[in-house]
Structure 1
Amino acid sequence: MDATKLRRAIARTWLAPVAAFPKRLVRVARYDTKLLKVSARWLVTSREHHNYTYDLTWLSKSHLAWLVSVVCDIPVKQVKRYIQEIEGDEQLRRHIEQTTRNAARRGLADRQVRYARRVGWYAIVRARRPEHVVETGADKGLGSCVLAAALLRNAAEGHPGRVTSLDINPEAGYLARTAPWSDVVDLVIGDSIAAIEALDRPVDLFLHDSDHSRTHERREFDAVEPKLAPGAMLLTDNVTVTNVLADHAERTGRRFLAYRETPINHWYPGDGIGVAW
């Protein structure tokens, strides 16, 4: 009996798991060893303790471009140009590096500028040209800066807009407190639900990125629903954890798509973007 026939014969017996164990063990060991190396490197080189930053694999970035193309109904080539636009914004990159270096929380932030899925946020804002964006959960203000950069580009093309960034931490948003980005950012410190209910103008684009509990996420979408402008788009940064936005989309008659990012050389498996429109 040749080797192939022998393997097939064994596969039909109780010996199959035993025979396959060495190969399975090698594959698991290789994966775990790589993950341990990446994790050890991150522990030594990074300062971040939450809200991790990283770059995306080229494939993950390509998939993100296609998501934006579909939900915004524009050619994927245009989306890729928008992504290149934010990645090539040297003024913003220098600002983030310098502000991080001098910030009070510099001991808990990396100086390297890595946008990850936020390039998708940028492309969506560039494509849809919203007059009012609302973001919950500003943290350092990296996302706020990315949104502001898109709004500034839109304004230069005759489509002005502003972003209202909400966070409960008084120290949040420090990256977005410098002109020209601060010129289009309204930073509101306080409870997100109360702040959403107090909004006095329609919301064209809403992004949930605050307390990621299922209950709070649902409360934010329920609170913002009556504040939305016709044709508004809803985003969630919590799509890899909950189905809240998908359920909200189904309940309100919207379409929904989700994307999960793949970081380069990071132990964290990545977050994602959920879109309802």
Structure 2
Amino acid sequence: MDATKLRRAIARTPLAPVAAFPKRLARVARHDAKVLRVSARWLVTSREHHNYTYELTKLSRNHLAWFVSVVCDRPVTQVREWLGEIESDQVLRQHIERTTAGAARRGLADRQVRYARRIGWYAIVRATRPTHIVETGVDKGLGTCVLAAALLRNAQEGHPGRVTSLDINPEAGYLARSEPWSDVVDLVIGDSIASIGALDRPVDLFLHDSDHSRAHEKREFDAIEPKLAPGAILLTDNVTSTNVLAEHAERTGRRFLAYRESPANHWYPGDGIGVAW
């Protein structure tokens, strides 16, 4: 009996789990060894303790381009141009590197600029040309800078806009406090729900990226609903953890899609973008 016939014969016997165990063990060991190598390298080369930054895999980046294309009804070739636009913005990249190096919190931040899914935020802003964006959760201000960069490009093409950035931490947003990005950013320090209630102009694009508890995320979407302009888009950075935005979309008669990123050479499994429109 040849080897193939022998394996097939064993697979039909009670010995099948025992025979398959070495191969299964080898696959698990290879996977775990890779994770351990990547994790060990990150521990000695990175300073980040939360809001991890990384590049996307090539496949994940391609999927992100199609995700934005479908949501915004724009050709995927155009979306790819916008993704390349933010990635090749050397002025912004150098600003982030320089500001990070001199920041009080530099001991917990990497100087290398890695946008991950935020390039998708950029493309959505370029595609939809919002007049007023509201984001909750600013941290260092990396995402705020990305949104501001898209607004500045839109303004050059005759479509100006601003972003209202909400955070409860008075130290938040230090990357977005320099011109020209600060020219289109209104940084508001305080509770996000109270700040949303105080908004005095319609919101075209809303991004939840603050307290990621299910209860708080729901409160933010409920609070922003009466502030939205017709045709507004809702985004969540919490889509890999909750179904809050999907449920909100169903209640309010919107469509919903989710994208999950795949980080390149990082132990963290990644976050994603949820969108309702």
Return the offset for 1:15: 1.1
Q: What is the SS of the residue equivalent to 1:274? A: strand
The CA distance in 1 between the partners of 2:169 and 2:14, in whole Å, is 59
2:226 aligned residue: 226
Secondary structure of the equivalent of 1:267?
coil
For residues 64 and 210 of structure 1, the distance between their equivalents in structure 2, rounded to whole angstroms, comes to: 22
The alpha carbon displacement at 1:273 in A equals 0.3
CA distance in 2, matches of 1:14, 1:209: 52
CA distance in 2, matches of 1:13, 1:215: 51
Aligned positions of 1:150-189 closer than 5 A: 150-189=150-189
The corresponding residue for 1:118 is: 118
Runs of 4+ aligned structure 1 residues displaced above 3 Å come to: none
1:11 shift after superposition: 1.2
Are 1:23 and 2:32 counterparts?
no
**TM-score, length basis structure 2:** 0.99
Residue aligning to 1:199 = 199
Correspondence 1:235 to 2:262? no
Equivalent residue for 2:132?
A: 132
Per-residue CA deviations over 1:191-237 (Å, capped at 9, x if unaligned) read 10110111000000000000000000000000000000000000000
Corresponding position: 1:213 with 2:213: yes
The reply on whether 1:48 has 2:38 as its aligned counterpart is no
Structure 2 residues not aligned, in runs of 5+: none
1:2 maps to amino acid? D
Shift of 1:2: 2.1
For residues 141 and 4 of structure 1, the distance between their equivalents in structure 2, rounded to whole angstroms, comes to 58
Quote the RMSD (CA, aligned, Å): 0.5
SS of 1:10's equivalent? helix
Letter in 2 for 1:111: R
- Return the offset for 1:20: 0.5
State the distance in 1 between where 2:197 and 2:149 align: 26
- Structural mapping, 1:98-113, within 5 Å: 98-113=98-113
Instruction: Please state if 1:91 is matched with 2:91.
Output: yes
Which residue number in structure 2 is paired with residue 259 of structure 1? 259
Q: After superposition, give the CA deviation of every residue in 1:160-215 in whole Å (9 maximum; x if it has no partner).
A: 00000111111000000000000000000111011011100000000000000000
Q: Structure 1: which 5+ residue stretches go unaligned?
A: none
SS of corresponding position for 2:114? coil
Which residue number in structure 1 is paired with residue 6 of structure 2?
6
What secondary structure does 1:44 align onto? helix
Cα distance, 1:5 vs structure 2? 1.8
* 1:63 partner amino acid: H
Deviation at 1:10, TM superposition (A): 1.4
Distance, in Å, in 1 between the alignment partners of 2:122 and 2:16 is: 51
TM-score scaled by length of structure 1: 0.99
- Which SS does the other structure have where 2:127 is aligned? helix
Q: Once the two structures are superposed, what CA deviation does each residue of 1:66-122 show, in whole Å capped at 9, x if it has no partner?
A: 000000000000000000100010000000000000001000000000000000000
Provide the C-alpha distance between the structure 2 equivalents of 1:15 and 1:166, rounded to a whole number of angstroms.
61
Residue identity in the other structure for 1:32: D
In structure 2, the residue matched to 1:268 is: 268
Distance 2:59 2:114 in 1: 16
Q: Deviations over 1:3-57 (max 9, x none)?
A: 2222112112221111000001111000100100100000000000000000001
